[in-house]
Structure 1
């Protein structure tokens, strides 16, 4: 192994991904935190979090661009942790759901995770060390009233990707899936998928009676990438305030 170790986090410009990046930058296991996001705001993280952050403005749906980023990171440090967090959602009724919209949502939410895994995990496997966390959604388990069937389909696919990778990359690389519920991120507050009344109504259905904070999810992701989760692989971990109970 090289002298440095790295974490790679997608969707890092805000929300859960930003919280994960902050946690990785504060620990002593990752000297480099590669932060990928299509949002140019990802470049602000280095000044905000610290010099260990290496920002990359990258669309995870672009297979070659992801490969270029992974190659740049690996030239300086060995990737030890991968967090596939990038995601997007837009509602369309099935009768209005055109192929280009279907393709875009699957490209970001599912194929993007494949792209990262395709480029980042073979070196991890060869070094016999590393952890991958794929972020899915309750929409993939129960369907989504707000995100559309394409979002539900993509997030369901993440479960299959996780379990398949867990079998291929064992015994030294673990692969797990974290499933957030409704979390206070831009996807909730700025996407137009939820309004205040809808959020309040949803909270009433939850045993914990509130939406989640992104750092509450980031803490679980950090655990799944650490030594405490050394005997976990192929696992699906819900972080949803009890939403999966209904």
Structure 2
């Protein structure tokens, strides 16, 4: 893997196996090819403290489907799960190409495998309360969503953008604290993009420390912007 940027860690810390890496797969992101998945698994398995997780972010993809595909709610959910099955197949193929001593360190998870943990449940409830009641927080998530959408934002109305911001809202517990699964804290977020910038941008806002103080914090977290060797940044 080619490391483009780091948040809250160093290459030395990663190489010394201080973290448990994980990859959250946005299922419509075309960067998650079988080659990328294989490269991530091979890279992470020899650098993990305990285990490596791959999380297929399936159910909340229906939020994007509601807007971009103009799907009805049931259809949006069905499309999300069908796409997730395609991604799961890519993950299985990449994992099967690894030596057993590496593949045995990797766990493949669905979104529902992490959201019922007490840390996640509590923190999601806090973020949802703040989103409903705190205009500054809600506007910050909408602004980050607009920035991440790029030029396509000009083709969307404010209601659509607010709907899309709820995808980020549902991801925030994982972005802010990592997640627990089977007693392991997965705390190094690896992504082909500047995923850590979302968290660092929120932390710089004067109202966010108060929200952060309400969260259940599992432990330290970090993130890595990482690409396959042959892939361009972006």
Tell me: higher relative CO, structure 1 or 2? Use CA pairs within 8 A at least 6 residues apart: 2
Interval of TM-score (by shorter of Structure 1 and Structure 2): 0.3 to 0.5
TM-score (normalizing by structure 1): 0.37
TM-score (normalizing by structure 2): 0.38
